[in-house]
């Protein structure tokens, strides 16, 4: 009987001790989890680092004319530095912004090798470039398999920055941004100058995306008073589901085939009621129609205001143009436009853009036109717009009284 009474009492005393032991064991477990996380991240980075390279794009440019020196000074060499990822033994993906207009491109590997690279293809719409390095054999990174990256997935970004030093950060997918024709992942990883073209790896060490950049304009955000750009904290990467088709197209043809609508557009906006208030962009105003193009077949006319494309609200012509270019030719899209305050919609099959790189997107490739012809073209457009407006007002007011 005494034994029966003593045992439950001992058990009661043992319960707090057991709870303490469990808490301590839990702490050790948490430490083990962190240690495992560190081990996994180290392993992913160690395996992938040899596939990440530094890209140097060199170009000679003439110095701009200044007030002091009326004539341009001697040309000097400018170097753009970014990161790149080996996706095949001698093929490297990077961003178009790194190699745009480069006369010579070189890559430097993590183990100190340097070699000349040739540009296989550049696409400014998707901001991607493919380089070939015939003299190097690189360990390629595998494109991510399985489901697309989801919000919350862990991402390890590997790139290079100043002095070609490696950079690495751990973060998550914060958001997935969708636009017609492409996706962009918003990451919590910190990225650094020179990280354009860096690798975004998933927890399996596969290439989940290619880092493009960070939030905001370099002239505004993350820039200290001395002009030095500081890490900002929100980064963006092109996910593999957008990256892979572009890579395959660049590899196969050296180019990406873009959609074509056959319109010329102007910006349209509503002015604020307040004096000096901000104007609100309201769509893409059709300025001209290319005969025989998809827009012509759809029945669009100059003066129409395109307000939606493929279910997405259009605010600016540049936005619409980007979406059209990112859509593969042959795809059927829906357009919504407004003509004399009446809404219309219709579907059309996009054609293939006749230009490899659209002229308006050619960056600083083309020399600026002289002021004269540009001014004349602007005036002609203004006259055309005023004539259309006058015609519309005349139609609304009806025939003149006798």
Window 238 to 257, contacts with other proteins (CB under 8 A): none
Site for other proteins in 251-310 (CB under 8 A): 260-261, 263-267, 269, 287-288, 290
Structure tokens of 377?
């073209």
Indicate which single residue of 377, 383, 386, 390 sits in contact with other proteins (rule: CB under 8 A): 377
Half-sphere exposure of 292 (CA within 13 A, CB side): 1
DSSP annotation of 146 reads S
Q: Between β-strands 332-339 and 305-309, what pairing exists: parallel, antiparallel or unpaired?
A: antiparallel
> Contact between 388 and other proteins (CB under 8 A)?
no
What span, in angstroms and rounded, lies between the C-alpha atoms of 359 and 355? Answer: 8
Q: Please say which residue, 371 or 395, places its beta carbon nearer to other proteins.
A: 371
Indicate which single residue of 2, 5, 8, 70 sits in contact with other proteins (rule: CB under 8 A): 8
Site for other proteins in 150-169 (CB under 8 A): 153, 161-164
> Contact between 359 and other proteins (CB under 8 A)?
yes
Burial label, 90 (beta-carbon count in 10 A; 0-12, 13-18, 19+):
middle
Whole-number minimum distance, CB 24 to other proteins, in Å?
A: 6
Residue 356 sits at the vertex; the CA angle it makes with 354 and 361, to the nearest 5 degrees, is 105
Binding pattern for the stretch 38-77 against other proteins, x by CB under 8 A and - elsewhere: -xx--xx-xx-xx--x--x-x-----------------xx
What is the total count of residues that contact other proteins (CB under 8 A)?
Answer: 127
> Contact between 98 and other proteins (CB under 8 A)?
yes
Q: Please say which residue, 177 or 394, places its beta carbon nearer to other proteins.
A: 177
> Contact between 115 and other proteins (CB under 8 A)?
yes
Structure tokens of 133?
């390095």
> Contact between 82 and other proteins (CB under 8 A)?
yes
What span, in angstroms and rounded, lies between the C-alpha atoms of 125 and 103? Answer: 21
Q: For other proteins, which stretch binds (CB under 8 A), given 202-210, 301-309, 330-338, 386-394?
A: 202-210
Indicate which single residue of 91, 120, 123, 127 sits in contact with other proteins (rule: CB under 8 A): 127
Q: Please say which residue, 49 or 297, places its beta carbon nearer to other proteins.
A: 49
Whole-number minimum distance, CB 82 to other proteins, in Å?
A: 4
Strand order in the sheet with 154-160: 199-201, 154-160, 166-179, 182-187, 235-239
Q: Which segments of 51-118 does DSSP mark as H helices, in order?
A: 96-99
What span, in angstroms and rounded, lies between the C-alpha atoms of 159 and 187? Answer: 15
Q: How many Cβ atoms from other residues are within 10 Å of residue 106's Cβ? A: 18
Using alpha carbons, select from 189, 182, 93, 109 the residue that is nearest to residue 141.
93
Lookup result for tokens 């399996």: 204
Indicate which single residue of 64, 68, 70, 112 sits in contact with other proteins (rule: CB under 8 A): 112
Q: Please say which residue, 369 or 394, places its beta carbon nearer to other proteins.
A: 369
Site for other proteins in 319-338 (CB under 8 A): 320-322, 324-325
């Amino acid at each position: 009987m005494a034994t029966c009474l003593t045992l439950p009492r001992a058990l009661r005393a043992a319960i707090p001790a057991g709870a303490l032991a469990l808490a301590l064991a839990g702490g050790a477990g948490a430490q083990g989890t962190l240690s495992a996380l560190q081990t996994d991240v180290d392993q992913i980075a160690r395996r992938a680092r040899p596939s990440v390279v530094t890209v140097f794009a060199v170009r000679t440019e003439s110095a701009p004319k200044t007030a002091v020196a009326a004539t341009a000074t001697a040309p000097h060499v400018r170097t753009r530095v970014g990161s790149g990822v080996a996706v095949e033994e001698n093929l490297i993906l990077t961003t178009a912004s790194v190699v745009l207009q480069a006369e010579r491109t070189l890559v430097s590997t993590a183990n100190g090798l340097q070699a000349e690279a040739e540009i296989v293809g550049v696409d400014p719409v998707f901001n991607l470039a493919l380089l070939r390095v015939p003299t190097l054999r690189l360990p390629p990174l595998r494109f991510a398999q399985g489901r697309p990256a989801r919000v919350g997935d862990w991402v390890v970004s590997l790139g290079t920055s100043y002095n070609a030093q490696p950079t690495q950060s751990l973060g998550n997918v914060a958001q997935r941004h969708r636009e017609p024709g492409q996706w962009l992942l918003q990451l919590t990883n910190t990225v650094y100058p020179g990280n354009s073209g860096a690798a975004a790896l998933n927890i399996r060490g596969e290439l989940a995306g290619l880092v493009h950049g960070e939030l905001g304009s370099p002239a505004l955000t993350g820039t200290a008073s001395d002009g030095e750009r500081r890490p900002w904290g929100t980064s963006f990467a092109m996910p593999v589901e957008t990256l892979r088709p572009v890579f395959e197209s660049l590899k196969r043809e050296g180019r990406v085939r873009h959609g074509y609508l056959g319109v010329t557009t102007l910006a349209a906006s509503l002015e604020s009621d307040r004096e000096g208030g901000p104007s609100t962009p309201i769509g893409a105003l059709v300025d001209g129609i290319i005969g025989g193009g998809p827009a012509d077949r759809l029945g669009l006319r100059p003066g129409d205001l395109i307000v939606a494309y493929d279910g997405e609200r259009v605010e600016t012509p540049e936005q619409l143009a980007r979406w059209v270019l990112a859509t593969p030719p042959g795809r059927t899209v829906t357009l919504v436009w407004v003509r004399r305050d009446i809404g219309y919609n219709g579907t059309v099959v996009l054609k293939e853009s006749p230009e490899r790189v659209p002229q308006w997107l050619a960056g600083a490739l083309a020399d600026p036109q002289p002021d004269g012809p540009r001014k004349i073209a602007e005036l002609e457009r203004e006259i055309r717009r005023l004539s259309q407006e006058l015609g519309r007002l005349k139609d609304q007011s009806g025939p003149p009284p006798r």
